[in-house]
Chain A
């Protein structure tokens, strides 16, 4: 097996919405495998748009134009252009999972939420489903809290539990990449630290792209960080470099709290 260094290559990627808001301009960026990549910057900078471009969830929005490429590596190091016409979007979304800012549990039981993505694939074997349920709940640090009530409604869980359930649900398919759009925005500090610890564990197996809820979270979590402003990638650096010693004046101003 080849060791894949960069899981995702974004090359001169531009995107425009039909209403003219929040577009992306000529983004070029490498997302390393088995690490946490943080996209940060003020609202409207294009972080979420780029995130949603990686699993083509933008297909559901009113996008009028896309140019450039986003390439996703498989385990053999072969890159797939995800905007190629021949790409199976359903398969892509199984390889690239997503967790949203608001925990959106489906109106099903806890177990029903978790097995949903596997059932869509046609998996019916109860043992396989149950094994995956336990594995992903453990990975999301939720197993002990819900193991005795898997068949109760998922909406009865607390906000923090719901968000970890959403994370567990995205882990059911064992995706290669997990995209997280402010996954802790509605959570209390304890739940937030649980989710953060989970993500730190998960990066051994997965490539994680995180839009953090704050600069502090960005600094805590980043193995790599990219600063976005008004649809442009301003700066990109490993670990704490952007927070300690930014090169661009705009990054410095934002990190030091002069705007945003």
Chain B
């Protein structure tokens, strides 16, 4: 029966082909899973070793005994101030720049230069931002080592993130909405203000939060511009120094001998919760907006 022979030959080759497919699939899955391992290790280790330290006294207390006892409240407050200050400077400028680039910018030399500047800004190492902030805000503009100098430095570092995510959010709003609005007698600004911005809002907000999340976790830009090793009180003005979580973590991990491990992991856990919390918030906003979107 030649037909049967042919059939079996066919199926045996398809079995071996399936096997190769399957092996390849498993290999790729394995590699993909490998990328998940570090995040579980990091979160797992920090949570297991740090969660016992998370008491109200630790969160809301001041450090004492050479920071080997007490809490981290001044560092938490300092980081919150820095994030708010960064938002104050970077959000209006970043969103305005994104609106210009997405809605107004002609295709010419100047626009090209702006775009190259933003890309370059995004690639500069954070420690260079720190030194730049030291030179410009702390020394030249005489702000001293202060929240305002730190927030401005973080804001500049943050600008490329906010600009590019906001521009992306604006560009996803269909062009037909703009043409329709213009055809109904709207000016360009009315179109942006009434149609484009409300539709891009959640995308912009997501980008803003992700940018601020990065600002909250950075050490190098605040190192020379704002961060204090130890302060016995909370900052009272924008021109005061402040402690901040990432720098505090660096200090207690490397600069203070005999530091209890619980405090180190506890501090890392608080920083993680803050940053991942912001991340989660951004994800929720984004998915809610997607569910509501009608185009």
User: Which of A98-106, A129-137, A234-242 contacts its partner?
Assistant: A98-106
Least distance between B44 CB and chain A CB atoms (Å): 43
Query: Given A100-B180, A104-B180, do A90 and B199 touch, yes or no (CB 8 Å)?
Result: no
Query: How far in angstroms is the closest Cβ of chain A from B174?
Result: 8
**CB-contacts of A123-168 with B (<8 A):** 153, 155
Asked if A98 contacts B183 (CB within 8 A), the reply is yes
> Are A90 and B185 touching (Cβ within 8 A)?
yes
The answer to whether B295 touches A107, judged by C-beta atoms less than 8 angstroms apart, is yes
**A88-103 toward B: CB 8 Å interface, digit per residue (1/0)?**
0011011001101010
Contact B295 A155 (CB under 8 A): yes
The distance in angstroms between the C-alpha atoms of A55 and B183, with both chains bound, is: 8
B182 in contact (CB, < 8 A): yes
Measured CB to CB, the closest approach of chain B to A162, in angstroms, equals 11
Partner of A170 from the list B184, B194, B295 (CB cut-off 8 Å) is B184
In the complex, A131 Cα to B288 Cα: how many Å? 35
B187 contacts the other chain (Cβ, under 8 Å)?
Answer: yes
Distance (whole angstroms) from the CB of B163 to the closest CB of chain A? 24
B179 touches A60 (CB 8 A): yes
- Distance A55 CA – B194 CA, assembled complex (angstroms): 22
Interface residues of B in 194-234 (CB under 8 A from A): 194-195, 198-199
Kindly state whether residue B53 has any CB partner on chain A within 8 Å. Answer: no
Chain A residues closer than 8 Å to B182, beta-carbon distance? 57, 60, 93
Bound CA–CA A153/B295 (angstroms)? 12
Range class of the B interface residue count: 10 to 19
Central interface residue in A97, A106, A121, A153, by most chain B CB within 10 Å: A106
Cβ of B190: which chain A residues have Cβ within 8 Å of it? 120
Contacts of B176 in A (CB 8 A): 100, 102, 104
Interface centre among B176, B183, B198 (most CB of A within 10 A): B183
A169, B294: Cβ atoms under 8 Å?
no
A57–B179 Cα distance when bound, in Å, is: 8
* Contact pattern, A 172-184, Cβ under 8 Å of B = 1, otherwise 0: 0100000000000
A116 within 8 A of B: yes
Residues of chain A within 8 A of B195, CB atoms compared? 106-107
CB B160 to nearest CB in A, in angstroms, measures 29
Please tell me if A32 contacts chain B, counting CB pairs below 8 Å.
no
User: Does A246 sit within 8 A of B, measured CB to CB?
Assistant: no
A186 at the interface (CB under 8 A from B): no
Across-interface contacts of B184 in A (CB, < 8 A): 93, 97, 116-117, 120, 169-170, 173
Number of residues from A at the complex interface, CB < 8 A: 23
Chain B's closest residue to A95 (CB) is B185
Is there an interface contact between A57 and B177, defined as CB atoms closer than 8 Å? no
Task: Assess the B185–A106 pair: CB atoms within 8 A.
Answer: no
**Residues of chain B with a CB closer than 8 A to A57's CB:** 179, 182-183
Alpha-carbon distance between A90 and B182 when the two chains are bound, in angstroms: 8
Interchain CB contact under 8 A, A106 and B181 = yes
Q: Is B43 an interface residue, CB under 8 A from the partner?
A: no
Distance between Cα atoms of A169 and B198 in the complex (Å) = 20
Which chain A residues lie closer than 8 Å to B198 at the CB level?
107
Q: Given the complex, which residues of A lie within 8 Å of B179, measured CB to CB?
A: 57, 60, 100, 104
Interface status of B48 (Cβ within 8 A of chain A): no
Q: A100 → chain B, closest Cβ, in Å? A: 7
In whole Å, how far is B169's beta carbon from the nearest beta carbon of chain A? 14
Q: Which residue of A lies closest to B295 (CB)?
A: A107
User: Across the interface, which residues of B come within 8 angstroms of A104, CB to CB?
Assistant: 176-177, 179-180
What's the least CB distance linking B187 to chain A, in Å? 6
Residue of A nearest to B198 (CB): A107
B285 within 8 A of A: no
Complex interface: chain A residues within 8 A of B183 (CB): 55, 57, 93, 97-98, 100
- Say if the beta carbon of B186 comes within 8 Å of chain A: yes
- Of all chain A residues, the one with the shortest Cβ separation from B190 is A120
State whether A107 touches B185 (Cβ < 8 A). Answer: no
Q: Interface of A with B (CB < 8 Å)?
A: 55, 57, 60, 90-91, 93-94, 97-98, 100, 102, 104, 106-107, 116-117, 120-121, 153, 155, 169-170, 173
Q: List 5 A-B contacts (CB under 8 A).
A: A55-B183, A57-B183, A107-B295, A120-B184, A120-B185
Interface residues of B (CB under 8 A from A): 176-177, 179-187, 190, 194-195, 198-199, 294-295
**Top 4 nearest A-B pairs by Cβ distance?**
A155-B294, A117-B184, A94-B185, A104-B180
